[in-house]
Amino acid sequence: MPLSLSIYRGVTALTAPLLPFWLSRRAKRGKEIAARLPERYGIASITRPGGRLIWIHAASMGETMSALTLIDILANHAAVLLTTGTITSAGLAARRARAIHQFVPLDAPRYAERFLDHWRPDTAVFVESEIWPNLLRGLDARHVPRFLVNARLSARSAKRWARFPATARALFDGFGFIAAQSEADAAALRGLGIDRVEAPGNLKFAAPLLPDDSAARTALETACPGPRILAASTHAGEDAPMVAAHRALLAGHANLTTIIVPRHPERAEAIAALTAGLPTARRSRGEMPVPGGIYLADTLGELGLFYGFCPIAFIGGSLVPVGGHNMIEAAQLGCAAIAGPHLANFAEAAAILRAAGGLIDITDGTELTQAFDSLLADPARAAMIGEAGRRACQGFADLPARLTAQILDAIA
């Protein structure tokens, strides 16, 4: 074992007594479910089912969403345990995953050992970039095969790992195979001296469609039959350009309804302060949108509804240096996607959609207004862009089945 991993193990063992205080504070802030805190110490809240068990770990919402189809296929062959680290991903798992859900234990040696002793997985599948040394060491000690799917490694992370090459090899070489999201991610991993890396594609393109609510969409369409545009997952600094675009577009589209879905619903008050003089309604209050006005969709879990309601969408986190958000979800539903220049977290996905003609790039608020104006004036072009994005996503439909076959073959 490299010295760095021995040090890590010692430090995590020594700091473990402090972790309950940290978790308690998180629970008070609504970041943990108090009744399920024992799971974070590796104490299971559910009995292990008999027979073969496949453990899948996905950190949060995005990773869980991308793994749903993979989980669904694997559940036909064995019981599936899904661990995540956030409340929202736990809710998604409860609604949509064919799996037992537990919160992932904190990576202290005692918690990791307790978790593995109870669940005794026959194999483990990690999604994207969750690398927990104590859990991985525990799997290796038990001779449990492990795999990394939809792996990503940013340039910044690659530089950090490059400082500890022996550590990187000890952790990554233990995976039976690594399926990277993109060739760039695969190249970054190979640059660390890691073998058995391939790049079959991004599982997010094969994720299930976001849920829709046909009755709610019909009600929205009745309230606002005119043109509609959407800003999805916005951050501070992006709402003002959207409101400015709405004001400018009203001259040519008097009944335009603009829906803003903030990434963090608690920002709704700050956004409402930008809409003075415009009809403004909030979904969290049960209000309906008004033609010509702004609709603040300050709720969670309804993006599928709004992508179905609006044929054109700006994807937030891209006009400000956040790194972008998941434009694939919009493309899957045939929504013409618009994105700003900050797309580091979705560079490969953006490149695929761009090459297919399913993404419009803009650089600032002026170009945002121009893009909306152009597509509102030419609905056929907007529909064509949306359909191009949908077809690009469909090209990855068989990816979960291919990855599942690799996993099952490796543990047969």
Asked if 129 and 153 touch (Cβ cutoff 8 Å), the reply is yes
**Is beta strand 123-127 parallel, antiparallel or unpaired with respect to 100-103?**
unpaired
DSSP string, 130-158: ---HHHHHHHHHTT--EEEEEE---HHHH
Pull the structure tokens for residue 104: 């992932």
Distance between CA atoms of residues 100 and 92, nearest Å: 12
Distance between CA atoms of residues 105 and 84, nearest Å: 9
Single out the catalytic residue among 63, 128, 130, 329: 63
Is residue 63 among the annotated active site residues? yes
Pull the structure tokens for residue 31: 């970041």
Q: Which residues pair with 149 in a beta bridge?
A: 127, 179
- Residue holding tokens 């079959």? 200
Among residues 240, 263, 382, 390, the alpha carbon closest in space to that of 323 is found at: 263
The residues, any chain, with a CB within 8 Å of residue 195's CB and separated by 6 or more, are 173
Element (H, E) at 281: strand 280-282
Q: Output the CA angle 198-179-61, nearest 5 degrees.
A: 150
* 258 three-state secondary structure: strand
Asked if 313 and 290 touch (Cβ cutoff 8 Å), the reply is no
Among residues 316, 317, 309, the alpha carbon closest in space to that of 335 is found at: 309
Enzyme catalytic residues: 63
